[in-house]
Chains A and B, each alone.
Chain A
Amino acid sequence: MIESNLPALQVVVPLLAAPFCAMFRKGPGAWFIALAANWAAFAIAVALLLRVSDGSILSYMMGGWPAPLGIEYRIDIVNAFVLLVVSGIGAVIIPYARLSIAIEIAEDRQAWFYTMYLLCLAGLLGVTITGDAFNIFVFLEISSLSSYVMIAMGRDRRALTASYQYLIMGTIGATFIVIGIGLLWTLTGTLNLLDLAQRIRVIENAPGVLSALAFLAVGISLKLALFPLHLWLPNAYAYAPSVASAFLAGTATKVAIYLFLRFFFTVFGGSAWFDASPVAEIFLVLSLAAMFAASTVAIFQNDVKRMLAYSSVAQIGYITLGISLASETALTGSIVHIFNHALMKAGLFLLVGGIVYRLRLFKIEDLAGIGRKMPLTMAGFTILGLSMLGTPGTVGFIGKWYLGLAAIEAGYWWLVILIVASSLLTLVYMGRVVEVAYFREPSPAVAQLREAPLSMLIPAWLLVVGSVWFGFDTEATVGFASRAAAALVAGVF
Chain B
Amino acid sequence: MEAIVSDINYWVTIFLMVAGLYIVVARGNMIKKLVGLSVFQTSVYLLYILPGKILGGTAPIVDPAYTVYSNPLPHVLILTAIVVGVATLALGLALVVRINEAYGSIEEDEVHVQDLEE
- Hey, which bits of chain A sit against chain B, CB under 8 A? 134, 137-138, 141, 145, 148-149, 152, 157-158, 160-161, 163-164, 167-168, 171-172, 175, 178-179, 182-183, 185-186
By Cβ-Cβ distance, the 3 closest A-B pairs, closest first, are: A157-B102, A141-B84, A164-B95
Is there contact, CB below 8 Å, between A167 and B88? yes
B19 interface hit (Cβ, 8 Å)? no
Given A164-B92, A167-B88, A182-B48, answer yes or no on A175-B99 (Cβ-Cβ < 8 Å). no
**Listed stretches B1-9, B33-41, B61-69; interface member:** B33-41
Expressed in whole angstroms, the minimum distance between the Cβ of B43 and any Cβ of chain A is: 9
A157 contacts across to B, CB distance below 8 A: 99, 102-103
Q: Specify which of B17, B33, B98 is in contact with A152 (CB 8 Å cutoff).
A: B98
Can you name the residue of chain B whose Cβ is closest to the Cβ of A186? B51
Is there contact, CB below 8 Å, between A163 and B81? no
Most buried by A among B34, B92, B95: B95
Given A164-B96, A168-B24, answer yes or no on A148-B91 (Cβ-Cβ < 8 Å). yes
Is there contact, CB below 8 Å, between A160 and B37? no
Is there contact, CB below 8 Å, between B41 and A171? yes
Within 8 A of A (CB), among B3-32: 17, 21, 24, 30
Is there contact, CB below 8 Å, between B47 and A182? yes
B40 contacts across to A, CB distance below 8 A: 172, 175
Expressed in whole angstroms, the minimum distance between the Cβ of A184 and any Cβ of chain B is: 12
Can you name the residue of chain B whose Cβ is closest to the Cβ of A235? B115
B54 interface hit (Cβ, 8 Å)? no
| A199 to B111 alpha-carbon distance, docked (Å) | 49
Q: List 27 A-B contacts (CB under 8 A).
A: A134-B77, A134-B80, A137-B81, A138-B80, A141-B87, A141-B88, A145-B84, A145-B88, A148-B95, A152-B98, A157-B102, A160-B102, A161-B99, A161-B111, A164-B30, A164-B92, A164-B95, A167-B91, A167-B92, A168-B37, A171-B37, A171-B41, A172-B37, A172-B40, A182-B44, A182-B47, A185-B48
Is there contact, CB below 8 Å, between A168 and B103? no
Within 8 A of A (CB), among B67-93: 77, 80-81, 84, 87-88, 91-92
Interface size on B, residues (CB 8 A): 30
Judged by DSSP, the binding face of A is helix
Is there contact, CB below 8 Å, between A138 and B84? yes
Can you name the residue of chain A whose Cβ is closest to the Cβ of B49? A182
A148 contacts across to B, CB distance below 8 A: 91, 95
Expressed in whole angstroms, the minimum distance between the Cβ of A301 and any Cβ of chain B is: 15
| A164 to B24 alpha-carbon distance, docked (Å) | 12
| A160 to B24 alpha-carbon distance, docked (Å) | 18
Is there contact, CB below 8 Å, between B88 and A172? no
Within 8 A of A (CB), among B89-114: 91-92, 95-96, 98-99, 102-103, 111
| A182 to B24 alpha-carbon distance, docked (Å) | 22
| A141 to B89 alpha-carbon distance, docked (Å) | 12
B95 contacts across to A, CB distance below 8 A: 148, 152, 160, 163-164, 167
Expressed in whole angstroms, the minimum distance between the Cβ of A476 and any Cβ of chain B is: 38
Is there contact, CB below 8 Å, between A145 and B102? no
A sample of 4 more A-B contacts (CB under 8 A), given A137-B81, A164-B95, A175-B41, is: A160-B98, A160-B102, A164-B99, A175-B40
Expressed in whole angstroms, the minimum distance between the Cβ of A160 and any Cβ of chain B is: 5
Given A134-B77, A167-B95, answer yes or no on A161-B115 (Cβ-Cβ < 8 Å). yes
Is there contact, CB below 8 Å, between A172 and B51? no
| A272 to B17 alpha-carbon distance, docked (Å) | 33
| A148 to B41 alpha-carbon distance, docked (Å) | 18
Is there contact, CB below 8 Å, between A172 and B21? yes
A138 contacts across to B, CB distance below 8 A: 80, 84
| A185 to B33 alpha-carbon distance, docked (Å) | 29
Expressed in whole angstroms, the minimum distance between the Cβ of B3 and any Cβ of chain A is: 15
Given A160-B98, A171-B41, answer yes or no on A178-B81 (Cβ-Cβ < 8 Å). yes
Given A152-B98, A172-B24, A172-B37, answer yes or no on A145-B115 (Cβ-Cβ < 8 Å). no
| A152 to B94 alpha-carbon distance, docked (Å) | 11
| A268 to B85 alpha-carbon distance, docked (Å) | 28
A179 contacts across to B, CB distance below 8 A: 17, 44, 47
Given A161-B115, A168-B24, A172-B37, answer yes or no on A178-B91 (Cβ-Cβ < 8 Å). no
Expressed in whole angstroms, the minimum distance between the Cβ of A452 and any Cβ of chain B is: 26
Can you name the residue of chain A whose Cβ is closest to the Cβ of B51? A186
Can you name the residue of chain B whose Cβ is closest to the Cβ of A183? B47
| A186 to B51 alpha-carbon distance, docked (Å) | 7
Expressed in whole angstroms, the minimum distance between the Cβ of B32 and any Cβ of chain A is: 12
| A382 to B118 alpha-carbon distance, docked (Å) | 30
| A186 to B73 alpha-carbon distance, docked (Å) | 11
Expressed in whole angstroms, the minimum distance between the Cβ of B45 and any Cβ of chain A is: 10
| A178 to B111 alpha-carbon distance, docked (Å) | 31
A163 contacts across to B, CB distance below 8 A: 95
